[in-house]
Structures are given as structure tokens and as C-alpha cells.
A and B are shown apart, each in its own frame.
Chain A
Amino acid sequence: MQHIYRQIQADPRFHELERKRGRFGWTLAIIVLANCLWYMGATAFFPDLAFARLWGEPLTEGGSTTWGIVIGFAQTVVFILLVGLYIYRANTEFDNLKDAIVADARRAAGE
């Protein structure tokens, strides 16, 4: 197995794969964490900031649903969409690239 690993290591497409996937994964992770920090942290750190106060405002005049509730639900939906987005790209682009790299490395190794 070691020689196939070396073969793959030498393949420039492998580094392209790792770079693309790494950047994509970290970007999405940071979006999620930032959303969390923004949402959880705002009340703790800056309760007086305008947007933190906006959460207490009703969505429609005279209604009871506040912006904060809508944004909270929206966060959940955004998380699920981001998960879907990652999986879509991983299943198509990344996996295709990975399969091609592995197949070539095996062929070169004479398997």
C-alpha cells in the first residue's frame, strides 16, 4: 500500500484535491461558527447593539413574532443547506477527482 500512497502523493491532482476540499470545508465551517458566535455571542457581548435590539422587534406591526425568532429558524435552515452544499460538491467533484487519482496510481503501481 505504501508505494501507492507515494504514487498519489506525487500526483499534482492530489494536491489540487486537498487544497480545494480543505478550503471549501474550512470556509463552510467558519461560516457556521461565525453565525453561531454572532447569534449566541451578540446577546452576551453586545446586548445594546442595534442588531441585537432588532431581534426584539416584531416582524410586522402589531404581530408577536420577532426578528430574533425568524433569524433563529433561518440559521437552522442555513446549516442544513450548507451541509447539503458540501455533500453535493464532495459527492460529485471531489469524489470524481479522487477516484481518478486512485485509479491512475493503481495502474501505475501495476495492480
Chain B
Amino acid sequence: MPGSLKKRTVHHWARLGAPVGLAAPFAAQAAEPGKGLNPVAVGMFTVFVAVTLVVTYWAARRTRTTRDFFAAGGQISGFQNGLAIAGDFMSAATFLGVTALIFDFGFDGLIYVVGGIAGWPIVLFLLSERLKNLGKFTFADAVSMRLASTPLRTLAATGSLFAVVLYLIGQMVGAGKLIEVLFGIEYQAAVITIGILMVLYVSFGGMIATTWVQIIKATLLLAGGSILSWLVMQRFGFSFDALLREATAHHAQGDGMLRPGLMTHDPVSTLSLGTTLVLGTAGLPHILMRFFTVPSAVEARRSVFFATGFIGYFYLLIFVLGFGAIALVTREAGYFDAATGKLIGGGNMAAIHLSHAVGGDVFLGFISAVCFATILAVVSGLTLSGASAISHDLYTNVFRPHATEQEAVRVSKIAALGLGALAVMLGLLFEAQNVAYMVLLAFSIGASVNFPLLFFAMYWKEFTTRGALLGGIMGLTVAVGGIVFGPTVWVDLLGHESPLFPWKYPALFALAASVTGSIVGSLCDRGPRATRERAAFAAQYVRSQTGLGAEGASVH
């Protein structure tokens, strides 16, 4: 029994933060359970697209400068930004994947919920304000403030692009499969639709449109989740205890699923997964970028407050949905494949089946449309941050230091188009592959390259360019190597007997490598440039603490 549970664990963990876990289970399925085109889903989604395209048109007319394009002119309020950050975080993976975790493992799912929220307070206490005070459009601005701009921006942009492209492929493949099932349209058509829409949002509307698409979607997702939870709780007379009692009666583990320990006992994996979740989130470029869209440090703080609140609330909903699915989906034979006894459409469909169980076809359509919107909003944010790494970090600051604003915006639009085309092509290419490892790798890079770079640059006086490069390259190498030679790629994908790197999550080790490289590289750096860089820390420190001299900030 423990053996079989452990094996399942691997697949379920891959889902967390990994929409792509969606890919594999759906591959074999025809258009169940939507049973072909679901008119409500298509109708709802069409309305969403129409509204967001109007928003994009409106945003395009307001987007003139680079600051408009990359940072929405710094005009987003703390509340709006909090909703947008929550939206970036609440992907289809969280909604479907975490519900599925609870559906399978009960209580242990809650442990991951707690880990997922804990990242936000840490970002607020240690990062957000200083980041806002130092940066302009990307986190590389803050990193390269006193260090050598060319190598550092190249490194930071490489880390960002790696993370963005991997994450995009993961989203594309997962989304294509999901939409194929929910809407009953072809995989290719789904991927191309997503590609076209995200390029439209990003190249015409820039950050303003991307933010508003995210806000609209977050509102829809929170509303959809709330209604679904309400319908579930109604079935149990709004008694959580009654819900749990019914759930334990239907779960294979019975009472056992209300206790910890069904999922994992391996301390190293747990710690490493924790690192991936907490620091990976704090190191993803499309989330860091959001702190530049608010006008001041005060609004940056408010953003985190609202984001934490919305994400916390959303997770509470998911907890109800997970147990609701155990109680209400498990007992309906119709949701299971008669031959295999598995959930139709794969494990990730628990939330979708639940929406059908409590709300019928109409509500199923609504939730499906919300899932599509969710995917679209997240890939748009990713595309924008990839475009900013290319245009702002590489083009304007490395290749063409004298580029005009118009040129920078034009390059971003071309970059967005290029990234969109690349994502569609790779999405089509990887259709039949299990790409779960790509999202895992994206998070690992966030946790072990981007996060330590930013942290050291802001906190450690002795940090120098050489330390940054050594640390960044070591972290990137271990993260990539750990995934490639680990169980996910080396064994599952390449079919080798046993992994060269035994753990599924390399983040803990990659982080250790990156920190070691940064410290050793910095301490051994004794050149005149290093001396200048250390001397420049004092001024940077004052700016990071006071916001004096910060881009676009109004200091009174």
C-alpha cells in the first residue's frame, strides 16, 4: 500500500503549480465530460474575450511610453494590483490541481495550501518595498543597480526567459488538453486561439491590458469558486462537519484522510518542495514585475495585503471543493470510467465534475469558461514579462543603450509576437509529451536563480558582479541538471532504470549551490570594480529604504 501511494504522489506533486500535469491524463480522452461543444461554456468565453478585447483597445490608447507599456504607467492601485497578483498565482493548476490533491489525499492537501500562502508574507517583509524602490520595470533593474549592467542583465534576462518559456510551454500544452476536453474543440485550434489572444493583449495593450485581463479573470475565478463552494455547503446544511463526515464515508482511506501522512514521509523532498513553492513564487519574473505597476511603496504593501487575503480565501474555497468532490463526486458512478475505475478526464477533473454534480450543465459551462479565461490571463502575464526581459533588459540596456522609447515599445511588441509564435509552435510540438517537468523547472529557476540574485543584491554589501555570475550560473546548472537527471526526465521521460539525481525537486540543492557560488565568488572578488560596487551599496541602501530617487515615485 505505501508503495502505490508513493507512486501516485509523484504524479500529484507534479500538478501542484503545474497545470501541465493536466496534459497526460487528458491525452487519451475524447470530449468527455463536456460531451462535445458546451454552448454555455463557449458563450461565456466569447463574452470574456469580447470584454477583454475592448479593454485592450482602451488600454492601447493609453499606452504611449515604455512606462505605460511595462508598468501600466505606475497607475494601478494597491487593491487592483493585489487582485492581479492573486490572479497570476491562482492558475488553472491551483484551482484544478490542488482540488485534486485534496480529492486524493485529504488532509495532506492542506499542508500544501499553507506552503503556498506562506510565500506572500515573506515577499512583503523582505522584498516588495525595496524592489519597488530600486527597480523600474523588471527585477533585473534592482539587481544591476550597482553591479555591472551588461553581464548581470544578461544573466537575469536569461533566468527570466528560461522560466517564462518553460512555464509557457507547460501552460500551453495543459491548456490545449483542458480546452479540448471542456469545450470539445481541437487541440491545435485551442493552442492557436490562446496564442493569438495573448499576443493581442500584450502587444496592443501592454501591462495595462494584461493587468485588467488578470483582474477580470481573478474576479471570475473567485466568484465561480465561491458559488461552487456555496452550492456544496448547501448540500450539507452549511455544516463543515457534515461535509467531512460524508467525505470520509466515501474516501478509500476513510478517517485516515483527515490525518496527516498519507502523502509523504521524505523530509528532503518536503523541504525542497517547500522551497520550490515559497521561493519559486517569489522569484517568478511575471509576479515580481507587478510591483512596478503601483505608484508607491505604500501601494506595494497594500498589494501584498490584498493578494494574501484573496489567495488565502481562494485556498479555503478549494479546501471545501476538495472535500466536496470526495463527498459528491465519488458516489456518482457516471463520473468514472467504467473500464478503469478512474475519474473521467483524469484526476484534475475533480473540480469540474463537482461543478456538474451541484450545478448541472449550465454551471459546468460557466466553470469551464472560467478555467479558459484563467489560462489565458496567466499566459499573457508570462508573455509580457518575457517581452520585457528581451526589450528592456537585453535590447535597451545591453545592445542599444541609446534606444528611444518608441523603439523599446516596438521591440517589446515584436518580442511578444515572437514569444507567442514560439509558445504555439512548442505547444504543438509537445502535444503528446508529459511536460510537467517544465513548470517544475521554471519554479526551481525562480527559487534558485532569480530569488537569491535579488536577495543578495539588496541585502548584502559584499555582493559583487563575480559573485552574482558564479552563483547564478551554479544555481541554474544544478536546477537544470537536477531536473534532467532526476526522476521526472531521466526515468519517466527517457526511460532509464534509476535517476542519477534521486530527488524530484532540485530547488533546495540548486539554492544551496547558488548561495555558495554567490558568497565564494563575491568574497574572492578583490578587483577595483568590486571595490566600486561595494562602495556603491550605501547609496543604494538609502534609496531602497527611503524610496528617494526611485523611478516614478513621488517622495514627499
Contacts and interface: CB of A to CB of B under 8 A. Distances in A.
Given A64-B245, A66-B107, A79 B120 contact: yes
B312 A102 contact: no
Contact of B549 (A1, A26, A68): A1
Interface in A12-36: 14, 17-18, 21, 25-26, 28-29, 32-33, 35-36
Given A8-B542, A69-B107, A87-B305, A28 B121 contact: yes
Interface string A83-98: 1101100110001001
B427 interface: no
Contact of B111 (A28, A39, A56, A80): A39
Given A8-B548, A25-B125, A79-B312, A68 B542 contact: no
Interface string A47-64: 100001001100000011
A73 B301 contact: no
A108 interface: no
Contacts of B110: 68-69, 72
Given A5-B538, A29-B125, A68 B258 contact: yes
B304 A83 contact: yes
A44 B301 contact: no
Interface in B271-327: 271, 274, 278, 298, 301-302, 304-305, 308-309, 312, 315-316, 319
A91 B300 CA distance: 11
A99 B261 CA distance: 51
Contact of B308 (A75, A79, A91): A79
Contacts of A35: 114, 118
A2 B250 CA distance: 68
B546 A102 contact: yes
A32 B121 contact: yes
Nearest to B110: A72
A97 to B, nearest CB: 10
Given A66-B259, A83-B308, A4 B548 contact: yes
Given A25-B125, A86-B124, A98-B545, A36 B301 contact: no
A7 B258 CA distance: 59
Contact of B298 (A21, A29, A91): A91
Interface stretch (B262-270, B416-424, B431-439): B262-270
B548 A82 contact: no
A111 B345 CA distance: 67
- What DSSP secondary structure best describes chain B's contact surface? helix
B115 interface: yes
A93 to B, nearest CB: 13
Query: Which of B261, B264, B304 has the largest number of chain A CB atoms within 10 A?
Result: B261
A79 B555 contact: no
Chain A interface size, as a band, is 35 or more
A35 B120 CA distance: 14
- What DSSP secondary structure best describes chain A's contact surface? helix
B402 interface: no
Contact of A91 (B117, B266, B301, B541): B301
Contacts of B269: 44
B260 A52 contact: yes
A87 B267 contact: no
Nearest to B539: A5
A29 B121 contact: yes
Nearest to A87: B301
Contacts of A44: 264-267, 269-271
A75 to B, nearest CB: 5
A98 B546 contact: yes
Contact of A80 (B245, B308, B319, B555): B308
Contact of A36 (B114, B125, B298): B114
A95 B263 CA distance: 45
17 contacts: A2-B539, A8-B542, A9-B542, A17-B545, A35-B118, A40-B274, A43-B111, A44-B270, A76-B114, A76-B315, A79-B312, A80-B305, A86-B124, A87-B301, A95-B298, A99-B556, A102-B546
Interface of B: 107-108, 110-111, 113-115, 117-118, 120-122, 124-126, 129, 240-242, 244-245, 248, 258-261, 264-267, 269-271, 274, 278, 298, 301-302, 304-305, 308-309, 312, 315-316, 319, 538-539, 541-543, 545-549, 555-556
Given A36-B114, A55-B259, A64-B241, 15 more contacts: A8-B548, A28-B125, A36-B274, A36-B278, A40-B111, A65-B244, A66-B107, A68-B110, A68-B259, A72-B110, A76-B113, A79-B121, A80-B305, A80-B308, A90-B301
Smallest CB-CB A-B distances: 5 pairs: A56-B259, A64-B244, A44-B270, A43-B260, A25-B125
